Amino acid sequence: MQKTQKNPSAWVAAIPLVLLTLILYGVIRCFGSDSILGGSQIALLAASSVAAMLAIFCYGRTWSELEESIINHIRSATSAILILLLIGAIAGTWMVSGVVPTLIYYGLKILHPSYFLCASCLICGVVSLMTGSSWTTIATIGVALMGVGEAMGLPEGWVAGAIISGAYFGDKLSLLSDTTVLASSTVGVDIFTHIRYMLFTTVPSMVVALVVFGVAGFTLDHASAATVDQYAEMLNSVFCISPWLLIVPLLTGVLIVRKLPALITLFVAVVLACVAMVIAQPNLVAEVAEVAQLDFLAGFKGVVMTCYGSTAIETGSEALNDLVATRGMGGMMNTVWLILCAMVFGGVMTGSGMLRSLTQLFLRFVRRTTPVVASTVGAGVFFNLCTADQYISIILTGRLFKDLYADRGLEPRLLSRAVEDSATVCSVLIPWNSCGMTQATVLGVATFTYMPYCIFNLVSPLMSILVATIGWRIKRAK
């Protein structure tokens, strides 16, 4: 029987969201930080199925309409998927080539007990900026810094807060970050435009955090930081540490400044790192290729394996082994899978008109720029609370507010920035969120213990609202 199409009410449109929240709650309880390995994807597909059935049987939509919307959403994520794969290649090549270890080595050398908190925040920021992963940074160099901080007699909450603040600062601004790519691609903003626009809220938030950590560092009691030198020397004994390796990130920065397309910039960055790898770390290339003597074929095999596969380099320290281990392009497949399933959910919600119905609720009450941004920030935090996953929170917040920003004449880059200022940085502050659970477990510090000292994460959403209130660099879209 042919049904007349009508728009679903906001209450009906909320049913798939509620179901998604309930299923994700069970997934998080069962799988914890491993939810991204498949549980979250199943939750998205289940919620998509319910939304599709409601749209077809109750509101006269056809499957061909929903399928077309799903295809369009997946097509929009194609560039993001390619970027993620190149990010995996960069993570492997920049590590084995010695680029990232060189940055870590020089960063560790600047540590001093009086400004340990500031230095820890900056080091984690640099490492996260270069690797694009706050989780990897916290689980590796963060764990090492946590041990050093405890040896110095510093309160564990302060040390963990400084580590997390720096890691999420770099994660937000890194071209290699999956959350940065996800936020920009979900809204439809060029990634370089997105990163440059985030500077107006991210840098002030980081300055506030560094001031607080600086004052705390000079007021808290300190001890010796000799352990840091030990980690630095271990890196120096395994990798060829040289300032010449910094040419790779410098040239990559030049390409970014010249505004070359992201895919081209990332591909060139991989090629540069591969060349540096063969020249500076031939012994490690041979180790990756599992050969005793390096020749042309073995070198080719080692370089290719570093790009696509996992690498594990023995340093003599378990913490440093975790730091220098990489997953390559293959390590990005779980995130790619999650993006595809999220695009299915977003496609069904959009094609059925449910997302539009939810947006209409905000259109009734939100008129000016500040309430729009504040609502976006609030939604990012809310979805982190409900879905317990930062990736899904980013996608839902971006999709939910995309039409609202267009109707209000606000630039899409303002939306992508507000999403990052809330959904990305606040996920680690929630105990039952996958980020909060993971970092509390890795650092050995309860979420509520380190939460008051994650200055950057607490200030970022407030800074986003403050900048919107001032109107700094906010323009109406033509």
Torsion from C-alpha of 87, 89, 95, 97, nearest 10 degrees: -130
For residue 190, give the DSSP letter.
-
User: What is the distance between the alpha carbons of residues 396 and 438, in angstroms, rounded to a whole number?
Assistant: 22
User: What is the distance between the alpha carbons of residues 184 and 194, in angstroms, rounded to a whole number?
Assistant: 6
| Predicted pLDDT of residue 203 | 94
In terms of pLDDT, which residue wins out, 322 or 3?
A: 322
Lowest-confidence segment of 38-42, 52-56, 453-457 by average pLDDT: 38-42
| Predicted pLDDT of residue 274 | 92
The stretch 426-445 carries a mean pLDDT of 79
Alpha helices in 223-368 (DSSP H): 226-238, 247-257, 262-280, 282-289, 296-308, 318-324, 333-351, 354-365
| Predicted pLDDT of residue 478 | 58
Per the CB < 8 A criterion, the answer to whether 446 and 440 are in contact is: yes
| Predicted pLDDT of residue 222 | 59
By C-alpha distance, which of 275, 268, 238, 239 is closest to 251?
268
The stretch 382-396 carries a mean pLDDT of 76
pLDDT at 2 over 70: no
| Predicted pLDDT of residue 205 | 94
- To which residue do tokens 């009508």 refer? 6
Beta bridge partners of 410: 476
Angle, nearest 10°, between helix axes 156-173 and 455-470? 50
Beta bridge partners of 476: 410
| Predicted pLDDT of residue 1 | 42
Beta bridge partners of 311: 326
What residues contact 143, with CB distance under 8 A and at least 6 apart?
Answer: 319, 322, 442, 443
Alpha helices in 281-329 (DSSP H): 282-289, 296-308, 318-324
Lowest-confidence segment of 18-32, 77-91, 246-260, 355-369 by average pLDDT: 355-369
pTM strictly above 0.85: no
Per the CB < 8 A criterion, the answer to whether 460 and 202 are in contact is: yes
User: What is the distance between the alpha carbons of residues 160 and 438, in angstroms, rounded to a whole number?
Assistant: 13
- To which residue do tokens 């000016």 refer? 368
| Predicted pLDDT of residue 211 | 94
| Predicted pLDDT of residue 140 | 65
The stretch 317-327 carries a mean pLDDT of 75
